[in-house]
Structure 1
């Protein structure tokens, strides 16, 4: 789809640590938080310098809404700085911006997450 629009998309994978029991929602949340930590994202974004991106996005929804209310903003700032001060966002921040733009007041959320993680998304 990007190529049809005259755009390029370069994918860089952030590797999560394995979780012994994927039914353990606390362990899954810790894994996602570690993967989306500012340190982890900064390291991954620094590897993109030769691409010279026009923008960068952390495309892990749960990895961008777990944490305190400013977690996504800190992630985006770290990505931007590490990728050469290009605009940066996260899946959750982009979703909030889009919902504000269309003035959505009621949202239906379909999610694959454990209930405990889904509640964190709603609270975000």
Structure 2
């Protein structure tokens, strides 16, 4: 059984993960995946760079990691937050997870790094971004992807200021965000924000887009599994969980 600990900021779409666990127990009992989660502290719930730098601060993450290890025997650890990792830049995001790994002794990554690895796993070099964030924050994600060798062909932002509001978006609203993305020349659509519910709708989103769709909660699970070895084929989670090549 793989046990991937999740550091999740605040309260918005954290129920995506236990719902996935429940569904996999029914549809893929051999997967044996556990996703214990702890809520990391939040100073201000705002998609604003200064607030996001505080959200991903060392002390907040270390406190959450220690709490998770006290409660669970973990195989890997994920900082389940996109904006609270990419705002630190490419080098800063790596330093962020290295500090957590040093603290816990666990293989560790973050959702931002997971997006880059997921693109590599799919062989997707050109992507469209459909972001919930304000434009300036979304631009930080675009810069991060480019630093990881991923070309962004188009970026759409939806100016949602708080994670709490993103967490209220339903299936039709998330579908509309993906459908509205400019997908010409792209090989995949990226939907960053772990505050957005998506794990129950990946295949619907891919049907709408006509191509692979990578969402924050989806790539977080994928990266946690990738840290432990070959990623198993899991039903309902889209093209990313149908292994076609070895990621680096």
The two structures have a TM-score, normalised by structure 1, of: 0.84
Q: C-alpha separation between the residues in 1 aligned to 2:103 and 2:69?
A: 8
Among 40, 60, 69, which residue is 1:14 paired with? Answer: 40
> In the TM superposition, what is the alpha-carbon distance from 1:13 to its structure 2 partner?
0.6
Report matched runs for 1:84-95 at 5 Å. Answer: 85-95=105-115
Deviations 1:29-78 (A, max 9, x none): 21111111223212221222221210110111101100232111111112
Give the Å deviation of 1:82.
2.4
Q: Name the counterpart of 1:103.
A: 123
TM-score scaled by length of structure 2: 0.44
Moved runs in structure 1, 4+ residues, more than 6 A? none
Matched, 1:34 2:60: no
Q: Does 1:55 align with 2:76?
A: yes
Q: Give the root-mean-square deviation of aligned CA atoms.
A: 1.7
Tell me which protein shows more strand as a share of its residues.
Answer: 2
Q: Distance in 1 between matches of 2:115 and 2:33?
A: 21
Matched, 1:77 2:77: no
Which one has the bigger helix percentage?
Answer: 1
Quote the offset at 1:96 in angstroms: 0.5
**C-alpha separation between the residues in 1 aligned to 2:136 and 2:126?**
21
* 2:87 counterpart residue number: 66
The structure that has the greater radius of gyration is 2
Q: Which residue of 2 aligns with 1:120?
A: 140
Structure 1, unmatched stretches of 5+, are: none
